[in-house]
Amino acid sequence: MQDNDLLASSAMYLHGKVNLELALLMILPGQDQTLRDMLGAHRPGHGLAGAFYTDPDIYALDVAAIFERQWIFAGATCEIPKPGSFITLTIGRSPVIVLRDRGGEVRAFFNTCRHRGFKICDAAKGHTPALICPYHRWTYRLDGTLANAKHMPADFDPAAYSLVPVHTRVVGGTIYICLADEPPDFAPYQDAMVRQLAPHKLETAKVAFEADLVEYGNWKMVMENSRECYHCATGHGELMRTFLDIYDFANPQDSQPIQDYWNKWDAAGYESRISEGPNYRAARLPLTGSSKSITMDGKPAVKRPLGDAPPDAYGSLRWVHYPSTFNHCINDYTVLVRMLPVGPEETLVTTKFLVDAEAVEGVDYDLDTLTKVWTVTNDQDKALVERNQIGVRSSGYRPGPYSPSLEAGIIKFIDWYRTKLGEYLERAH
């Protein structure tokens, strides 16, 4: 987009000079129509226009319309095992702290002091008996209420200055948060994933390893790359030694190995079929050949299983939830991937490896064996995304068609994204 006024309003947002909602109100009707026209001009089954991957204004809208309004994957409950345990993350412009309070409840708050707005906690994770702002020592209990604020006047009411809460949901040992005042309905996804995650017992896990990787590509580029395996045969040789690729799970009913695998889960009394909604999809798929885990040699990475898979049912539960996560539960470990936008062409990808809480490193598992395939795959994806971003940035880029069979997952994601952005523009004007 080339309109100077719109670029100026976006620049003000990116430098924190105005509230994003106010910046959106500065968009003139004609400028708003330009965005609507861009969405309306999209050819079904094709990629987005280049500006959707590069333009700062559209990135600002993505933060407001998607990441500040949808449910975002935060982490796993095993990361905060006891009262005072916490993790932090940043969603767009907003730092958030997720913790377990003294009653054992999982809570989330904007990581911003009610005094002067100072970021309270700078650590990625840890344990604390209270939240103490380092600037002026305002102190908050684990339920977010203000416990102490020195040198304030006699009529100061601490009850009026609790931390601002963030909506929180827990499902099957995973945590989701939403920054919106009125979050979208989480129930359909929660109902589906309670059933799908039940045998994997993520609540009894621990994080064996965690890694951050910055990919210099737009967050949608990162999500698209994760939603297809068109590139896997040539791009992920190590992963494909064990990973079954069936065209985005489009026709699993036509595969006898998949039907046999599902029958084993049915016989064990667990959910076996695909669960799907507008912003999620979960499916169980067997591994290739005699593979028993997603490792370099197909052998288990962890001696102690994570959860209760049926005997001889070696495979993975693969699931995605827009806009921020895709994951794999294997019989011996789980890998959780979170994607958060950092800038118009920059995305933070965090990978967490979960094993049984009683598993001992060096005895029950070796970190290199556990992480090697995914570390190699993540590095490969980073290279692919960044090269793709360079090409899309070109003035010669023209959106091409997706493969209906091999890239059905991208088509679904793009349709969802366009719908949410359009709904937000309708609400804003």
The domains of the chain are located at 4-70+398-428, 79-178, 187-393
User: With contact defined as beta carbons under 8 Å apart, do 282 and 193 qualify?
Assistant: yes
What is the pLDDT at residue 13? 33
Beta bridge partners of 46: 401
Tell me the average pLDDT of the chain: 91
- Tens digits of residue pLDDT in 33-61: 788 889 999 999 999 999 999 999 999 99
Residue 179 reports pLDDT greater than 70: yes
Query: What separation in angstroms does the CA of 159 have from each of 121, 156, 162?
Result: 21, 9, 6
- Pairwise CA distance, residues 105 & 84, whole Å: 11
Q: Work out the pLDDT band at 24, boundaries 50, 70, 90.
A: very low
User: With contact defined as beta carbons under 8 Å apart, do 286 and 244 qualify?
Assistant: yes
What is the pLDDT at residue 37? 87
The closest of 336, 242, 245, 355 to 294, measured between CA atoms, is: 242
- Higher pLDDT residue, 32 or 242? 242
Residue 111 reports pLDDT greater than 50: yes
Q: Which of 130-134, 245-249, 270-274, 307-311 has the lowest mean pLDDT?
A: 245-249
What average pLDDT does range 86-113 have in this prediction?
A: 98
- Pairwise CA distance, residues 130 & 145, whole Å: 10
What is the pLDDT at residue 429? 67
Write out the two tokens for 419.
Answer: 């719908």
With the CA atoms of 378, 382, 384 and 385 taken in that order, what torsion angle do they form, in degrees rounded to the nearest 10? 120
- Higher pLDDT residue, 254 or 396? 396
- Pairwise CA distance, residues 372 & 385, whole Å: 20
Q: Which CATH class is domain 79-178?
A: mainly beta
What is the pLDDT at residue 256? 86
Q: What is the pTM of this model?
A: 0.91
State the Rg of the chain over Cα: 23
Fold classification of 187-393 is: Naphthalene 1,2-dioxygenase Alpha Subunit; Chain A, domain 1 (3.90.380)
Beta bridge partners of 136: none
Q: Which of 179-188, 189-198, 246-255, 344-353 has the lowest mean pLDDT?
A: 246-255
What is the pLDDT at residue 246? 61
What is the pLDDT at residue 207? 98
What is the pLDDT at residue 6? 36
- Pairwise CA distance, residues 429 & 423, whole Å: 10
Q: Work out the pLDDT band at 25, boundaries 50, 70, 90.
A: very low
Query: What separation in angstroms does the CA of 53 have from each of 42, 58, 429?
Result: 14, 8, 24
| 3-state SS record for the chain | CCCHHHHHHHHHHHCCCCCHHHHHHCCCHHHHHHHHHHHHCCCCCECCCCHHHHCHHHHHHHHHHHHCCCCEEEEEHHHCCCCCEEEEEEECCEEEEEEECCCCCEEEEECECCCCCCECCCCCEEECCCEECCCCCCEECCCCCEEECCCCCCCCCHHHHCCCEEEEEEECCEEEEECCCCCCCCHHHHHHHHHHHHHHCHHHEEEEEEEEEEECCCHHHHHHHHCCCCCHHHHCCCHHHCCCCCCCCCCHHHCHHHHHHHHHHHHCCCCCCCEEECCEEEEEEECCCCCCCCCCCCCCCECCCCCCCCCCCCEEEEEEECCCEEEEEECCCEEEEEEEEEECCEEEEEEEEEEECCCCECCCECHHHHHHHHHHHHHHHHHHHHHHHHHHHCCCCCCCECCCCCCHHHHHHHHHHHHHHHHHHHHHC
Residue 14 reports pLDDT greater than 70: no
Q: Work out the pLDDT band at 30, boundaries 50, 70, 90.
A: low
Return the axis-axis angle of helices 29-40 and 408-428, rounded to nearest 10°: 160
What is the pLDDT at residue 17? 32
Long-range CB pairs of 335-339 (<8 Å, 24+ gap) are 335/294, 335/374, 336/73, 336/75, 336/76, 336/174, 337/226, 338/73, 338/74, 338/75, 338/89, 339/219, 339/222, 339/223, 339/226
What is the pLDDT at residue 356? 98
Residue 9 reports pLDDT greater than 60: no
- Pairwise CA distance, residues 197 & 318, whole Å: 10
- Tens digits of residue pLDDT in 306-319: 999 999 999 999 99
Residue 12 reports pLDDT greater than 60: no
- Tens digits of residue pLDDT in 252-296: 777 888 999 999 999 999 999 899 999 999 999 999 999 999 999
User: With contact defined as beta carbons under 8 Å apart, do 140 and 146 qualify?
Assistant: yes
- Tens digits of residue pLDDT in 328-362: 999 999 999 999 999 999 999 999 999 999 999 99
Residue 247 reports pLDDT greater than 60: no
What average pLDDT does range 242-261 have in this prediction?
A: 75
